[in-house]
Amino acid sequence: MQLEPTEQTEPRESAEPASSSSALRERLSAAALALLLAPAAAMADSAATTQIDYTTLFYGEQGRTQVFEPIVRATRLFGDGQSISAQLGIDVITGSSPSGALPSGSVQTVTSPSGRDITVPAGQIPLTKFEDHRFGLDGEWQKPWGSFFTSTVGAHVSREKDYQSLGLNAKVSADLMQRMVTVTVGGGYNDDSVFPVGGTPIGLSDGSEVSKGANSKRVKSVLFGVSRVLTRRWILSVDGTRTFERGYLTEPYKVISLVSPFNGLPVGQLTDNRPSSRTRSSALLSSVYHLRNDIIYTSYRYYWDTWSVRSNTIDLKYRHDLREGWYFEPHVRYYRQGAASFYTIGLSTQLAPPEYATADYRLGRLTTLTIGADFGFRVGDNPSQWTLRAEYIRQKGDGLDPNADGVQSSFDPSPAINTVTAVIGYSFNF
């Protein structure tokens, strides 16, 4: 028999996975009881649940930056498919990062942007010590509209000693072709300000002259994505983003060494200076495949921007579930980027400085390799979910530059940075 119910359609809510927590169970049986006493339509929000997620990140670079970041998130899920969430995170950052200056053959004393003198051992790259706290508050509201559309609206505020960010973002998803295809269109706007400690140094200067006040940085972004169900076990997605950054995009604390073209020794330094506009694009292809029990996540991203940075990222995860709430998920990520057009390891005293220059290794050619794993578990009969993650990140710049002046050709301007991260997460519903 083939019925032709012309006025029939897809459900308002797509089929979500069933949670089997006993807390939810309790609420649902309470809801069922209430139903027997009250009219069906009056059950309002008895099916609403709250989820609390708590995670803490420990991030440690060998000999450099350390970050401790606790985050808590509360999500209220309503019976009609709406959800509202709020997230608070605090970053405590300590340690040091490369100033951008080059190593020298002897002990050198360099002046940090905040006016302190730093003594750097021979052959080592100069580091700048820093300490900061970051507070971030995020909110998100998701709502289904009719049978096919879902909107998500988000806002964030974050504040550091020398940086503030205010942002809004929104996206709309539409389910098409009997829910085989989902199209997402979105946009975001960030109004950020940078107010460096000790003032903003003039670009490509010795840093002695500074301007007071905040510098503005505005970021607009757009997103276009299509995801498609290929088979009962396989979904594929293509996403493109484009981000327009305008304003102060320089790193105020970074410097570039001035080197003598005769022996390659650093004789001074200039402040970092970057263009005030950058347009970034990314194209991401991702796939999720369900094996008999395990899941394979793969993704590839190509990124390009108007500073001539190009990058390729490959990400692989394999999730193996042992039993309800218990799983093991190894993870590998490979990232390779090309240098920005104005990246240089140092500037020669013999040549006139260019319009823009940076020696920030993060705009140089580099490779990042990440290896890690997640482990999910539960304690006893409690349905609360625990997650542990441990990762090792190795980042390496270009290494020795045979074309460098004099003594510089024997120094590695971007030695490998080894980082270990650990995350502990805990989630529960009530």
90-119 positions binding another protein, by CB under 8 A: none
State yes or no: residue 298 binds another protein (CB under 8 A). no
State yes or no: residue 147 binds another protein (CB under 8 A). yes
Nearest to 189 by CA among 213, 173, 174, 171: 171
Could you give the CA distance from residue 58 to residue 420 in angstroms, rounded to a whole number? Answer: 8
Of positions 223, 332, 369, 390, contacts another protein by CB under 8 A:
223
Q: Which stretch binds another protein (CB under 8 A): 20-28, 121-129, 256-264, 406-414?
A: 20-28
State yes or no: residue 351 binds another protein (CB under 8 A). no
If DSSP codes are grouped into helix, strand and coil, which group holds residue 30? helix
Asked if residue 221 lies in contact with residue 279, where contact means CB atoms within 8 angstroms, the answer is no
- 112: tokens are 């940090």
- 171: tokens are 């996206």
325: Cα within 13 Å, side-chain hemisphere: 16
- Minimum distance, C-beta of residue 124 to another protein, in the bound complex (Å): 20
- Minimum distance, C-beta of residue 133 to another protein, in the bound complex (Å): 12
359-418 positions binding another protein, by CB under 8 A: 362-363, 366, 368, 374, 387, 389, 393, 395
- Alpha carbon distances (Å) from 170 to 12, 86, 175, 183, 358: 20, 16, 17, 14, 34
Of positions 286, 348, 384, 410, contacts another protein by CB under 8 A:
286
Place of tokens 């088979």: 231
Closer to another protein by Cβ: residue 108 or 271:
271
Asked if residue 384 lies in contact with residue 426, where contact means CB atoms within 8 angstroms, the answer is yes
State yes or no: residue 340 binds another protein (CB under 8 A). yes
Say how many residues touch another protein, by CB under 8 A. 132
- 356: tokens are 């823009």
Of positions 119, 231, 323, 402, contacts another protein by CB under 8 A:
231
Closer to another protein by Cβ: residue 280 or 410:
280
Of positions 150, 256, 258, 319, contacts another protein by CB under 8 A:
319
- Residue 251 contacts by C-beta under 8 Å, 6 or more apart in sequence? 272, 274, 358, 360
State yes or no: residue 53 binds another protein (CB under 8 A). yes
> Residue 220 pairs with which residues in a beta bridge?
189, 244
Asked if residue 358 lies in contact with residue 254, where contact means CB atoms within 8 angstroms, the answer is yes
State yes or no: residue 10 binds another protein (CB under 8 A). yes
Closer to another protein by Cβ: residue 107 or 322:
322
Of positions 92, 176, 267, 379, contacts another protein by CB under 8 A:
176
Closer to another protein by Cβ: residue 29 or 409:
29
Burial class (CB in 10 A: 0-12, 13-18, 19+), 111: middle
- Minimum distance, C-beta of residue 85 to another protein, in the bound complex (Å): 9
